Every structure is written in structure tokens, then in C-alpha cells.
């Protein structure tokens, strides 16, 4: 049977929680990417993480045994710098509430990098920085109050790591937003500038986006009009999927290896949904599984059937069925 990836010419991948968790590769990612390369599938890595230079990302992927170069890695910091350079004249003053990488990219794009609100920056650009200080947030807030335009590379609320979820740049954005009651212009997923740049750079005609977050990866794919695969190796899991009313992936999988498996298809008729050998039915407002699959792929099929029912009727109760799928996060 044909693999899921056979319907697409390009796979666009998020990184954190999809390809790696901290310093370690997600299990199955390395051989799956090698298999995609052998099949001739175009691959691009599209990360909202603005703190690290693209070369650092390339070095990590290479060390994990994954082929990557500057043509296949795109960061939200790169997208922001390019978009802002097209909007503002060279020499524009910019205050960066983000990493040295973001500041270097903006400087290279022609901006004059300044340190505080008293330098009268025309723009404030915010991005993820693990060493961001509260004083820097103060200066950014003061500059925005004085009229600086506020931008952010991305707005991820959290970052998956090998130790668990940690706050993303969305938390730092919320600090300023709470103080000022406004929001920045954002370039990274789910916003279109990053997805459009990824498609343009990769030359994709039929792309699929592979991610672990509904709010950035899958939402961005929907906005860009492309199919998506949500993998359960990172931030969002079965309960997040069931709770999502409007943002639904085209497919789900345990990890990126799902691209090499047959597509997961469901048939629905009223209160009954089937996927593979698994069947889910609504009885007295609750979702029930006809059988309890013992293996992970069976549980993924069962989950896909359950999700069709939940997404069709938000009033039904699927918690018991979801909890029984104990092999799935």
C-alpha cells in the first residue's frame, strides 16, 4: 500500500518535539529522514526558535546523522530580519529583546542596533532568548510606549525539551502585552510569512507540514492551505486534539515515521466511526471503543476514529475512551 508521503513532493518539519528533544533525536526520526531522502522527497526544517543561528541548527542535525544545510533550514529570526529589511530603510534603529543571533541578523540586514528606549528606536523586535532579562523587557516596553513598532519572531507559549515543557517566547510577549494592552506583529508559525517563505525556498508544489503543536504548526498549515501531520512526540497529545474545535490535522502519527506508513483513513456514519480495524461508537453521549487495541498503531487508529466523532459533535464525552489509549501521550 502507498505511504502517506507519496501524495506530497515536500515535507516541511518543525524541529523541537518533532526531530529532536533538547540534544537528543526523537526516536525513529533519523531513519525516517534517511528513508525520505532515499525516496527523493524534498525536506525543509522550519523552526520558530529564533535564539540559535541556522548554522547551529545545521550542526545539531548533522551530529544526529541528519543531512542539512542552509538551503534546508529556515528560522523565524531569518524570516523576521528579511521582512523588516524590506519594510524599513537601512540605518533604522532597532531595540532587540531577544538573542544575539536575532540582533546579528537584524544588524546584517541594515538596522542600527540600540540598547534602550532612550536611544529612540523605531522598532522593537522580540524573540526567544534563554538569558532575557527583566530590564530588557522594561526597555522594550518603554520604547513601544514612545512609539516604536513592536514585532516578534514568533509567539510559541512553550518549548518541548528532553526534560519536559518550558516557557517559550510567548511568555515574554505576554509580559509586555499585559502592561500595554496590545500585541506585536508576528512572523513565525502560524503566521503566513514563515510558511510562504518555506514554500518559496523549497519549491514545494504539494507540501505537507509535520509538527507537534496545534497552535503553531497545524494552525499555520491550515492558514497556508497545506495538509499536515501532527506527531505525538512533542507538545500536544490526544487530549489536546480532542479539545481542539477548529484546528485539525490531516493525519496523526506517533512520530515522523508515520510519513512512510499508509495514510490513516476513517469512515464515519452517524454515531459510528472506523479506522483500520478499530471502531468507535457514541452510546448515550459517550464514546465507546469496540475493542481495546494492544499495540500503538492500533491505538492510533482508535484515536483517529474517536477524533472524527468528537470533532463532529463537541458535546459528546470521549475522556474514558481517550484514557484507555494508555500507549499514547
Mean pLDDT of 150-163: 88
- pTM of the predicted model as reported, rounded to 2 decimal places: 0.90
Q: What pLDDT is recorded for position 289? A: 94
Name the class of domain 87-185.
alpha beta
CA separation for the pair 294, 280 (Å, rounded):
16
pLDDT tens digits for range 46-84: 999 999 999 999 999 999 999 999 999 999 999 999 999
Q: What is the predicted pLDDT for the residue at 164?
A: 85
User: What is the pLDDT, as a whole number, of residue 1?
Assistant: 73
Measure the CA–CA gap between 146 and 200, rounded to whole angstroms: 36
Do the Cβ atoms of 18 and 231 come closer than 8 Å?
Answer: yes
Query: What 3-state class would DSSP assign to 205?
Result: coil
**CATH of 4-48+190-260 among 3.30.450.40, 3.30.70.141, 3.40.50.150, 3.40.50.1000:** 3.40.50.1000
Half-sphere exposure of 106 (CA within 13 A, CB side): 33
Neighbouring C-beta atoms of residue 42, cutoff 10 Å: 17
329 by Cβ neighbours in 10 Å (0-12 / 13-18 / 19+) ranks as middle
Q: Which residues are catalytic?
A: 14, 16
Comparing CA positions, the residue from 42, 59, 21 lying closest to residue 206 is 42
Do the domains 87-185 and 4-48+190-260 match in fold?
yes
**Contact between 5 and 38 (Cβ < 8 Å):** no
What is the C-alpha separation between 235 and 145, in angstroms, rounded? Answer: 34
Where in the chain are the domains? 4-48+190-260, 87-185, 266-324
pLDDT for 120 beyond 80: yes
Amino acid at each position: 500500500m502507498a505511504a502517506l508521503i507519496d501524495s506530497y513532493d515536500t515535507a516541511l518539519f518543525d524541529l523541537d518535539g518533532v526531530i529532536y528533544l533538547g540534544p537528543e533525536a526523537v526516536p525513529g526520526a533519523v531513519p525516517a529522514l534517511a528513508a525520505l531522502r532515499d525516496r527523493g522527497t524534498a525536506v525543509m526544517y522550519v523552526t520558530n526558535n529564533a535564539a540559535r543561528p541556522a548554522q547551529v541548527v545545521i550542526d545539531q542535525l548533522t551530529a544526529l546523522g541528519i543531512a542539512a544545510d542552509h538551503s534546508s533550514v529556515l528560522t523565524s529570526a531569518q524570516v523576521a530580519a528579511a521582512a523588516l529589511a524590506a519594510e524599513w530603510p537601512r540605518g533604522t534603529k532597532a531595540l532587540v529583546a531577544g538573542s544575539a543571533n536575532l540582533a546579528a541578523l537584524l544588524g546584517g540586514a541594515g538596522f542600527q542596533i540600540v540598547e534602550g528606549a532612550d536611544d529612540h528606536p523605531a522598532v522593537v523586535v522580540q524573540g526567544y532568548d534563554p538569558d532575557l532579562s527583566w530590564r530588557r523587557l522594561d526597555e522594550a516596553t518603554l520604547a513601544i510606549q514612545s512609539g516604536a513598532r513592536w514585532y516578534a519572531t514568533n509567539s510559541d507559549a512553550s518549548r518541548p525539551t528532553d526534560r519536559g515543557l518550558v516557557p517559550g517566547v510567548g511568555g515574554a510577549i505576554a509580559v509586555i502585552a499585559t502592561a500595554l494592552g496590545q500585541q506585536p506583529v508576528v512572523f513565525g508559525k502560524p503566521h503566513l510569512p514563515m510558511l510562504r517563505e518555506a514554500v518559496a525556498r523549497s519549491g514545494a508544489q504539494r507540501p505537507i507540514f509535520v509538527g507537534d503543536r496545534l497552535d503553531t504548526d497545524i494552525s499555520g498549515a491550515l492558514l497556508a492551505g497545506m495538509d499536515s501531520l501532527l506527531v505525538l512526540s512533542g507538545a500536544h497529545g490526544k487530549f489536546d486534539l480532542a479539545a481542539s474545535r477548529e484546528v485539525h490535522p490531516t493525519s496523526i502519527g506517533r512520530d515522523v515515521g508515520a510519513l512512510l506508513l499508509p495514510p490513516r483513513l476513517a469512515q464515519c456514519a452517524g454515531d459510528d466511526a472506523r479506522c483500520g480495524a478499530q471502531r468507535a461508537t457514541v452510546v448515550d453521549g459517550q464514546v465507546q471503543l469496540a475493542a481495546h487495541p494492544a499495540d500503538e498503531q492500533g491505538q492510533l487508529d482508535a484515536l483517529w476514529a474517536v477524533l472524527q466523532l468528537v470533532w463532529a459533535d463537541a458535546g459528546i464525552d470521549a475522556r474514558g475512551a481517550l484514557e484507555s489509549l494508555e500507549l499514547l501521550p
